[in-house]
Structure 1
Amino acid sequence: MYGYGGWAWIPFMPLLWIALIVLAVWAVIRLTRGPSGGAHGRGHGWTGGGLPENAKSPESPENAKSPESPEEIVDRRYASGEIDTDTYTEMRERLAAHRPKPR
């Protein structure tokens, strides 16, 4: 019924398992890396990719923005709908009351 050709695939079984393991490892690496390409923010998988050597990274000090002031944070949260008008007004009043006076 199966004939003599049934044993011909046995030498290829280790290759199948190796391919499956490589595929699984690749999938885990690909899924655990964020959209930035990993911890260094430079690569796209094993191909290298990313920023050219002379390009500045978004995390470089030259591109660093000053931290948001408390008022800017409240404004941003209100603009995004995260807080309502009453909360916004109360927070702005509290911030204004505790802001040091200029000399």
Structure 2
Amino acid sequence: MHYHDGHFWGMHFVWWVIWIVVGVLFFLFYSSFFQVTKKESPLDILKRRFAKGEITKEEYEEAKKVLNS
């Protein structure tokens, strides 16, 4: 063990590596967890609802006409 001005430099380096790894893991986890999603347009929402069967074909066509006008 070598001390330089009262600091153990080998352990100082290890702590920096640990903090960098923790920072990278934190960034990767939270950036994927809180991804900004694209806002859906009203027509996209309408298409999704029709595909799920929440609305009938007639309701879909009528709403599509309203949205396109």
* Structure 1 unaligned residues grouped into runs of 5+: 1-51, 98-103
Q: Comparing both structures, which one devotes a greater share of its residues to strand?
A: 2
- TM-score between both structures, scaled by the size of structure 1: 0.38
Q: 1:58 aligns with which of 11, 33, 37?
A: 33
What is the number of residues matched between the two proteins?
43
* Structure 2 unaligned residues grouped into runs of 5+: 1-24
- TM-score between both structures, scaled by the size of structure 2: 0.55
Highest relative contact order (Cα 8 Å, sep 6+), 1 or 2?
2
Q: Comparing both structures, which one devotes a greater share of its residues to helix?
A: 2
Identity of aligned residues (%): 33
RMSD (Å) for aligned C-alpha atoms: 1.3
The answer to whether structure 1 residue 89 and structure 2 residue 64 are counterparts is no
Show structure 1 runs of 4+ deviating over 4 A.
none
